[in-house]
Amino acid sequence: MALRVGRVLSHDEIERALVITAHPDDVDFGGGGTVASLTDAGVSVTYCVVTDGQAGGFDDSIPRAQMASIRREEQTRAAAVVGVTDLEFLGLMDGSVESGLDLRHALSRVIRMVRPQVVLTQSPELNLLRIYASHPDHLAVAQSAIAAVYPDARNPYAFPELLTSGFEPWSVDEVWVMGHHQPDAHVDITNQIDRKIEALLCHASQHPDPDRMVERVRAWNAAIAADAGLAEGSFAEGFLVVDTR
């Protein structure tokens, strides 16, 4: 895994990574190739998906409760494609996530349980030039995830009931922010692009035109690679790396 520009943890410094996203398929768009690279390097990766994506899809005949089950199944299959078998679904309602103490508490519990060196999550910043990345659920989850990393998960006096339940404080070393408009680190996913696409295609309920989706993702990751100075024909994912040590 080629991590370019900016100080980031190397392979041998990472034993566990935690991915926190709002919806099923968010990680596959924003970091699927990177996750595949991590698992290939022996890193244990856990997914924490905050909602079940009930408001997604295009088929009016599917009841929303059924859509939730479908999307959990799709995310589980997609995770397996990139080497992830440990998934936590928080089950919140798609489209109504609010950043606040309840979500921070839930995410702090997961961080203390997984004890990762790195957390991958979405950008907490509203970007009107990339409105799809700025879904309100994305922003709320990212804000709560970063607050859970610092200060909540490491502070023994925050959410004391977690401590009494056996969840010892844990300090995350870095946060890798997916989809940020000013990434300072890039992962070469050229060898993983096909697995990323395979994972995305697992989310069949979300893609009325799979071929167009694949074309768009390839073009997007090729553009990121070009911005990172990689050779023509390369693909990359970009992150803003936040040092939380």
Backbone angles phi, psi at 102, to 5 degrees: -60, -45
pLDDT, tens digit, for every residue of 55-110? 898 888 888 889 999 999 999 999 999 999 999 999 999 999 999 999 999 999 99
Contacts of 74 (CB under 8 A, 6+ apart): 24, 25, 202, 203, 204, 205, 206
In which domain, by residue range, is 93 found?
3-243
Indicate the pLDDT class of residue 127, thresholds 50, 70 and 90.
confident
Counted domains in the chain = 1
Distance CA 147, CA 200 (A): 29
pLDDT, tens digit, for every residue of 151-208? 999 999 999 999 999 999 999 999 999 999 999 999 999 999 999 999 999 999 999 9
Q: What pTM does this model have? A: 0.95
Backbone angles phi, psi at 55, to 5 degrees: -90, 5
Distance CA 132, CA 82 (A): 24
Looking at the DSSP bridge assignments, the partners of residue 118 are 17, 174
pLDDT, tens digit, for every residue of 9-36? 566 689 999 999 999 999 999 999 999 9
Contacts of 4 (CB under 8 A, 6+ apart): 185, 186, 187, 188, 228, 229, 230
Which CATH number is 235's domain given?
A: 3.40.50.10320
- H/E stretch holding 241 reads strand 236-243
Collapsed DSSP state (helix, strand, coil) of residue 101 = helix
At 4 the pLDDT is 47
